[in-house]
């Protein structure tokens, strides 16, 4: 069945701007979202989703109440929610394989056994800007087209992407919104930034930077975050990239200015761990984490970085 707005099928292909002009409610929602102030989201109840990751849960979750992601430039953050059972999926898409990723998002929501109850599927797309390489425009078109090809009716509720999320400063273009969060219980979507992006921020970022595909990182039944085991080949020319100035990294790795430090840290991580299977995943087993009730648990891992907000469940990780 088609992608719908206000009960009417979306006419594709068309630009995001043309689409919202044909549906004034979409344009108003995008305006209201852009006009919000950015909320600083703390670690309590938060599950942060990195690039090429997805997470899905429901209001029954006793550990996670907020899904969020930021640092999106040409990337789009996608929220798909079932209004009947409240099952909510958030993912950070970069256009690497949109045709495969949209079915993953759909299946993540359908994995909740009561997805057929009364209600409907609603999708929200946020991110991108008028970039010179038109990567945002391409990703917007891909996402709209792939959701339109799914078997289920999907209602487009929020569209704040590409030209709708663009601002110009000194003849250069930038996104207005870099990050959003969604409340699992209330379904509220709002502009957000995050200080806590763990656990294992560098490890997860390294997987994406080396070309890892979209993966689901959270098991809502056990309320556990699952990381790995991952493998990658040594990152090509890592020393070359570490020697480049901020401008070169910004231009070639499509990252916001405040993200350069994170990219450098991830490159250093890849240099230190060219083959992660043995050093980062002893016994080739996954790392499992569960959010503490107060959001400030401690963990003990065979790595240098510490994260206070998740508890490592030692000895129960499977391969």
Q: What are 227-262's pLDDT values in tens digits?
A: 999 988 888 878 887 887 777 777 676 555 567 777
Task: For residue 154, tell me if it sits in a domain.
Answer: yes
- Print the domain residue range for 95: 4-197+213-225
Tokens 């108003």 belong to which residue? Answer: 28
Residue 87: how many CA atoms within 13 Å on its side-chain side? 24
Which residue would you say has higher pLDDT here, 316 or 227? 227
Give φ, ψ of 29 to 5 degrees: -65, -40
Residue 218: pLDDT over 60: yes
Are 199 and 309 within 8 A, CB to CB?
yes
Q: What is the pLDDT of residue 298?
A: 35
pLDDT digits (tens, 9 = 90+) for 174-199: 999 999 999 999 999 999 999 888 89
CATH number for position 163: 3.30.1330.200
Task: For residue 265, tell me if it sits in a domain.
Answer: no
Task: For residue 245, tell me if it sits in a domain.
Answer: no
37 DSSP assignment: P
Q: What is the pLDDT of residue 293?
A: 63
Q: What is the pLDDT of residue 263?
A: 82
Task: For residue 152, tell me if it sits in a domain.
Answer: yes
Q: What is the pLDDT of residue 112?
A: 84
Please provide the distance, in angstroms rounded to a whole number, between the alpha carbons at the two ends of the chain: 38
Task: For residue 129, tell me if it sits in a domain.
Answer: yes
Task: Enumerate the β-bridge partners of residue 69.
Answer: 180
Residue 49: pLDDT over 80: yes
Residue 252: how many CA atoms within 13 Å on its side-chain side? 11
Residue 308: pLDDT over 70: no
Question: Per the structure, how many domains does the chain have?
Answer: 1
Q: What is the pLDDT of residue 304?
A: 37
Task: For residue 116, tell me if it sits in a domain.
Answer: yes
Which residue would you say has higher pLDDT here, 1 or 32? 32
Tell me the pTM: 0.89
Residue 82: pLDDT over 80: yes
């Amino acid at each position: 069945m088609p992608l719908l707005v206000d009960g009417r099928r979306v006419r594709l292909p068309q630009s995001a701007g043309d689409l919202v002009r044909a549906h004034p409610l979409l344009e108003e929602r995008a305006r209201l979202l852009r006009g919000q102030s950015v909320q600083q989201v703390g670690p309590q109840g938060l599950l942060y989703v990195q690039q090429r990751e997805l997470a899905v849960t429901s209001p029954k979750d006793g550990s996670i109440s907020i899904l969020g992601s930021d640092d999106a430039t040409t990337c789009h953050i996608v929220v798909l929610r079932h209004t009947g059972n409240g099952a909510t999926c958030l993912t950070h898409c970069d256009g690497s394989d949109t045709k495969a990723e949209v079915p993953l998002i759909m299946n993540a929501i359908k994995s909740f056994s009561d997805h057929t109850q009364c209600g409907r599927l609603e999708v929200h797309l946020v991110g991108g800007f008028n970039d010179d390489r038109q990567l945002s425009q391409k990703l917007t078109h891909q996402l709209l087209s792939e959701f339109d090809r799914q078997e289920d009716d999907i209602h487009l509720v929020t569209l704040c992407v590409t030209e709708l999320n663009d601002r110009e400063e000194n003849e250069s273009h930038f996104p207005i919104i870099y990050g959003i969060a969604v409340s699992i219980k209330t379904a509220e979507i709002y502009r957000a930034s995050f200080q806590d992006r763990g656990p294992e921020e560098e490890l997860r970022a390294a997987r994406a930077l080396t070309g890892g595909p979209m993966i689901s990182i959270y098991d809502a039944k056990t309320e556990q975050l699952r990381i790995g085991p991952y493998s990658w080949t040594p990152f090509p020319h890592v020393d070359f990239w570490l020697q480049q100035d901020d401008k070169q990294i910004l231009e070639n790795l499509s990252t916001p200015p405040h993200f350069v430090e994170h990219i450098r840290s991830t490159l250093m991580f890849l240099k230190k761990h060219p083959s992660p299977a043995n050093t980062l995943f002893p016994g080739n087993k996954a790392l499992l984490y569960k959010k503490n009730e107060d959001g400030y648990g401690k963990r003990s891992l065979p790595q240098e970085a510490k994260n206070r907000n998740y508890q490592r469940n030692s000895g129960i990780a499977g391969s």
